[in-house]
Amino acid sequence: MTEPENADGDSPVPAPEDVPFPGRIALHVDATDVTRRIFRVREVIPVPKAGILTLLFPEWLPGYHAPQAPIELFAGLTVTAGGQPLSWKRHSIQVHAFHVDVPEGVREVEASFQFLSPTDSAQGRVIVGAEMLSLQWNTVLLYPAGYFARQIPFNASLTLPEGWQQACALAVTEGDGGTVRYETAPLDVLVDSPVFAGRNFERVALDDAAQVHLNIFADSAEQIALTPEKIAPHRAVVAQAEKLFGARPFDRYEVLFALSEEIGSIGVEHHRSCEAVTLPTYFTDWEGSFSRRDTIPHEFIHAWNGKHRRGEDSWTPSFDRPIRNSLMWVYEGQTQYWDRILCARSGLWTPDWAMQAIALTAATHDARAGSRWRPMSDTTRDPIIAARATLPWASWQRSEDYYSEGSLVWLDVDTRIRALTDDRRSLDDFAWQFFAAEEAGTCTTRTYTFDEVVVALQDLAPFDWVRFFRDKIEGKHDDAPLQGLERGGYRLVFREEPSDYWRNSEKVAGNVNLMFSLGLTVDTEGKLEEVLWEGPAYDAALTTGTTILEVEGESFSPDAVRSAVARAKGADGRVRLKVRAGRQQRTVEVACTTGHRYPHLEPIAGARPRLLEILAPRS
C-alpha cells in the first residue's frame, strides 16, 4: 500500500507492512569529532529492486510522545551505488522522507551524512561535551519505508574518542581500535537503545543477579563520589519496583546516568535502559540535591508502565506513523504517582520529603486556573502542540498536566480502593496485576485500552470507575483533585516557612518561588520565569521574561524580595518593584497581604494516615 502521488509530483511513500526487510542494514557512526560535535554516518542498505527507494528519518518517537526528530540538524546527504552518485529528492510535504532513484542491477546503496549536534543550547539540547556524549540512534540513521520497524535488522557500530567507554542496552559483540560493534537488532530495538559514552565512567550493579546496572558518566572523575550509603537506595529502587510491579519485562537494564554541566538535562525511558542527565553535584552534594533524585525511579518504572504496557494509541508500527496519547494520564500520571512513592520506599527520600513534594503538586494545581477551561485529557496533546516549549502563561494554558495532576488523580484512586475494601486492597494490587510481565525477562509491548484499565480496577474494588475518570480526566474544574489527600489522612495547608523540599527545589532550580504569595517565580538574576494567571503579579501586569531591577528601592536579590514579602503581610500589604520589559522600565505595586505562603500537608485529626502507609517500604 502506498500513498498517491501528490500535486507536487512527489513519489508516494510506502505504508509500513509487517513483512521482513530483505537483508541487514550496516550502520556506522563516527563520534570522534567531539570538538565540533559532529557525528559522521555511513549506512549500507540492501536494495530489494530497482526504482524509487524511499528512506525515512525517524520522526515520531515513543519516549517523547511526539514528532521530536531533529531533522534540521541532518546534513550532507550523499547516496552512491558502486561508487557512483545517485540522485535523491526530499518529499515536499513529508520532509523526513528522501526518494532515491535506484538503477537496474544495483543490490545495495551507501548513504552518508552528518548529524550536526547542537553547539549551543539555543540550537537544541547539547548532547556532546569535552568528556562525554549521548547518542540517540534515531538521529543518525535512515531506514527504508514500507516495513514495520521490527522487521528491519541493523548491524550498528560506533567509533569513540580514544580512552572513552560506552554503555548501551545492546550487547557488544566486538570492540577494537575505539570501534564498538553491537549485536544485530531490529530498528525499533536499536532506536530504543541509546548510548552514553565518556572518559570518566563507573558501572555499578543494582541487583544481586547483575541484570540492572547504574552507568555513571561525569564531566570529571571527582564527581563520581560513590559510597555504599549512596548506592543502597538506588539498589532499593530496583527491589521495591519489582515488589510493586512483579516480573521484570526485560532481560537486562542499563541506567545511563550523566553528571554534567555541559550536556543538556534529560530523562527518557526505554525498554531496557533509560537516559538521565542531572546535576554534576548529585553525589558530591548528596543532601543538597535530594529533590532531583526522582529521575531514576520515574524512568525505571516506565519499563513496566509505558514500555511493556502502553496505551493502544501510543503504539505505532513505524516511526513515520503518528502517535496518539489519549491514555498518557495512565502512562505518565500513574508513573509520577509511583515515582514519589518509590523515592520514599527506597530511601532516596524520607517520607516527609515525599509528602512535601506531593504538597507542592497539590498547591500548584489548586492555584492554576487552566482547569476551568481545558480538561486534563486535552493536555495529552501537548507534546505535539507545544513540544515542551516555554509558555507565556503556563498556569492558564496548561502544559502536560496529565503528569502532575494525573498523579493526584491516582492518589485518589489508591485511597479510594483502600477505603472501599477496608484497606485490604490498594493500587499496589492493580500495579502487580496490570503491569507484570507474563514471563520474566521478556521484552515485549502489550497495549491496553481505557476499558481494560476500568475492568482491572473494578475487579479490585467495585465502583463506577467510568464515571469517576470521565469527571477527573474529561471534566473541567475550579480546583485540584485533593480528595485523595484527604482520604489519605492529610489536608493541604499553607505556612510562612518553606519545607525542606521547597528550599532544595529552589536551590537546584536557581530560583525563588513566590507563586503562592506574589504569584510569580523569579530566577536569581531577577528574571521572571512564570507569572500565575489572575494572581497578584498578573494583576500588576507583570509577565514572564520581565526583569525585576529593584525591590522597595533596593537592588534586586533573592534575599531582598523574600524580605519584602515577609514585611508586606497585612491588610494593605504591597511589594513595590521596579521592573524592565524590553526597553520599558516602570514601577509597580504587587498586592501581598498574606506574606509568605508555602504548601505543607497537615494530618487530619482522627483520620487514618493512609498516605504514610502508602509511602512505607514493601517487605
Q: How many domains does the chain have?
A: 3
pLDDT of residue 443: 87
Give percent above pLDDT 90 in the chain. Answer: 93
Task: Say if residue 446 is in the same domain as residue 504.
Answer: no
> What's the mean pLDDT in 518-532?
98
Give the torsion through C-alpha atoms of 442, 444, 445, 448, to 10 deg: -60
Is the pLDDT at 611 greater than 60? The verdict is yes
Amino acid letter for position 453: V
- When pLDDT is cut at 50, 70 and 90, the band that residue 454 belongs to is very high
Give the Cα separation of 477 and 481 in Å (integer). Answer: 9
Task: Say if residue 7 is in the same domain as residue 153.
Answer: yes
Q: Give me the chain's average pLDDT, please.
A: 96
Domain, as residue range, for 520: 500-598
Task: Answer whether residue 262 is part of any domain.
Answer: no
What φ, ψ does residue 416 adopt, rounded to 5°?
Answer: -70, -40
- Residue in 292, 259, 294, 289 with CA at minimum distance from that of residue 277: 259
- Residue in 483, 482, 425, 481 with CA at minimum distance from that of residue 457: 425
pLDDT of residue 389: 87
Domain of residue 429, CATH code: 1.10.390.10
pLDDT of residue 483: 97
Give percent above pLDDT 70 in the chain. Answer: 99
Task: Say if residue 176 is in the same domain as residue 129.
Answer: yes
Q: Which grid cell is 490? A: 492529610
Task: Answer whether residue 538 is part of any domain.
Answer: yes
CA 557 to each of CA 115, 527, 531, 561: distance values in angstroms, whole numbers, following the listed order: 42, 11, 18, 6
Task: Say if residue 472 is in the same domain as residue 520.
Answer: no
> What's the mean pLDDT in 96-125?
96
Map 169-231 to HEC letters.
CCCEEEEECCEEEECCEEHHHHHCCCEEEECEEEEEECCCCCCEEEEEEECCHHHCCCCHHHH
pLDDT of residue 295: 97
Please check whether residue 148 is in contact with residue 16, taking contact to mean a CB–CB distance below 8 angstroms: yes
pLDDT digits (tens, 9 = 90+) for 134-185: 999 999 999 999 999 999 999 999 999 999 999 999 999 988 779 999 999 9
Task: Say if residue 586 is in the same domain as residue 611.
Answer: no
pLDDT digits (tens, 9 = 90+) for 431-442: 999 999 988 888
Place of cell 524580595: 561
pLDDT digits (tens, 9 = 90+) for 65-79: 889 889 999 999 999
Is the pLDDT at 131 greater than 60? The verdict is yes
pLDDT of residue 341: 98
Task: Say if residue 435 is in the same domain as residue 558.
Answer: no
Task: Say if residue 577 is in the same domain as residue 611.
Answer: no
Name residue 98's beta-bridge partners.
55, 90
pLDDT digits (tens, 9 = 90+) for 398-424: 999 999 999 999 999 999 999 999 999
Give the Cα separation of 611 and 411 in Å (integer). Answer: 9
Contacting residues for 505 by C-beta, under 8 A, at least 6 apart: 291, 360, 513
What φ, ψ does residue 415 adopt, rounded to 5°?
Answer: -70, -30
- Residue in 305, 324, 323, 498 with CA at minimum distance from that of residue 407: 305
**Domain stops at, among 159, 184, 209:** 184
**Domain stops at, among 161, 184, 207:** 184
Is the pLDDT at 292 greater than 80? The verdict is yes
pLDDT digits (tens, 9 = 90+) for 233-291: 999 999 999 999 999 999 999 999 999 999 999 999 999 999 999 999 999 999 999 99
Task: Answer whether residue 16 is part of any domain.
Answer: yes
Give the Cα separation of 343 and 521 in Å (integer). Answer: 26
Task: Answer whether residue 309 is part of any domain.
Answer: no
Is the pLDDT at 8 greater than 80? The verdict is no
Task: Say if residue 17 is in the same domain as residue 124.
Answer: yes
Give the Cα separation of 508 and 287 in Å (integer). Answer: 12
What φ, ψ does residue 316 adopt, rounded to 5°?
Answer: -135, 155
- When pLDDT is cut at 50, 70 and 90, the band that residue 6 belongs to is low
Task: Say if residue 378 is in the same domain as residue 526.
Answer: no
Please check whether residue 560 is in contact with residue 551, taking contact to mean a CB–CB distance below 8 angstroms: yes
What φ, ψ does residue 607 adopt, rounded to 5°?
Answer: -85, 150
CA 88 to each of CA 10, 51, 53, 80, 109: distance values in angstroms, whole numbers, following the listed order: 12, 12, 9, 10, 12
Conformational region of residue 387, where left means phi above 0, alpha means psi within -120 to 50, and beta covers everything else: left
Contacting residues for 111 by C-beta, under 8 A, at least 6 apart: 41, 42, 43, 45, 55, 77, 78, 79, 142
Is the pLDDT at 3 greater than 80? The verdict is no
**Domain stops at, among 164, 184, 204:** 184
Is the pLDDT at 346 greater than 70? The verdict is yes
Beta strands in 503-573 (DSSP E): 511-514, 520-523, 528-531, 547-551, 554-555
Give the Cα separation of 472 and 413 in Å (integer). Answer: 11
Task: Say if residue 477 is in the same domain as residue 560.
Answer: no
Task: Answer whether residue 563 is part of any domain.
Answer: yes
Give the Cα separation of 616 and 244 in Å (integer). Answer: 12
Task: Answer whether residue 122 is part of any domain.
Answer: yes
pLDDT of residue 266: 94
Task: Say if residue 582 is in the same domain as residue 611.
Answer: no
3-state helix, strand, coil in the chain (%, to 5): 30, 30, 40
What DSSP assignment string belongs to 245-258? H-S-S-S-EEEEEE
Q: Which grid cell is 243? A: 515488589
Domain of residue 145, CATH code: 2.60.40.3650
Task: Answer whether residue 250 is part of any domain.
Answer: no
> What's the mean pLDDT in 117-128?
96
Task: Answer whether residue 304 is part of any domain.
Answer: no
Is the pLDDT at 5 greater than 80? The verdict is no
Give the Cα separation of 418 and 21 in Å (integer). Answer: 51
Domain of residue 566, CATH code: 2.30.42.10
Q: Point out the least confidently predicted range of 58-62, 137-141, 452-456.
A: 58-62
pLDDT of residue 438: 87
Task: Say if residue 408 is in the same domain as residue 347.
Answer: yes
Contacting residues for 331 by C-beta, under 8 A, at least 6 apart: 305, 306, 310, 311, 314, 325
Contacting residues for 81 by C-beta, under 8 A, at least 6 apart: 47, 102, 103, 106, 108, 109, 110
